[in-house]
Structure 1
Amino acid sequence: METTGDIQIGQVVRSKAGRDKGRVFVVIDILDDKYVLIVDGDLRKLDKPKKKKIKHLIVYKTVLKNISEKIEKGEKFNNAYIRKSLKPFNEEI
């Protein structure tokens, strides 16, 4: 499992800066020690992930194992699957 500091693929994060402030995302790729690619299946879909600085994210302890395993195995999944996985986090706002 690829980790940078305390962020890993499949991790749930919330944006704390920018136009998407307050939105909940899942990390689908780690570019380097400063940037990750995030999607939410709604505004940011799998075919156009958002490149985001880690320092602009609130990192939750939760890692969505189902998504991280699919990414590691190279399995296909869609935006609806991501939305469904993030739904409990969006409801707690």
Structure 2
Amino acid sequence: MNALEHMPEIGRVVQVLRGKEEGSYAVIVGLVDEKFVLIADGDKRRFDQPKKKNVLHLAMQPVVSHEVTDSMRETGRVTNAKLRFAIQRAAQGKGD
């Protein structure tokens, strides 16, 4: 495993290690700075109201959803359904 594989980036699936959503999965939808990212899961935490999380409180998964990445690049947003789909695929152990 190289260090780049676990870099915070838009579209990366993460597992929450701290807080109320501990143990749940989400997708990075924004980068605040080197310490914080914005995450959403498309369900309890929608794209319109992402949660700001410290990257130290997240376990970076080896899955990056290209659907989410492409959608963010093209339109600046992503549907909640795409977020849920990305998390579901990651949970099944499938990449994009």
Match of 2:88 in 1: 87
1:35 and 2:36 aligned: yes
| Matched position secondary structure for 2:85 | helix
Compute the RMSD of aligned alpha carbons: 2.0
Q: CA–CA distance in 2 between the matches of 1:30 and 1:67?
A: 14
Return the TM-score normalized by structure 2: 0.82
- How many residue pairs match? The answer is 89
| Matched position secondary structure for 1:68 | helix
Q: CA–CA distance in 2 between the matches of 1:57 and 1:42?
A: 18
Matches within 5 A, 1:1-93: 6-74=7-75, 77-90=78-91
| Matched position secondary structure for 1:8 | coil
The percentage of aligned residue pairs carrying the same residue is 30
4+ runs deviating over 6 angstroms = none
Contact 1:24 1:89 in 2 (8 A): no
Aligned-pair distance for 1:78?
A: 1.8
Q: CA–CA distance in 2 between the matches of 1:12 and 1:64?
A: 7
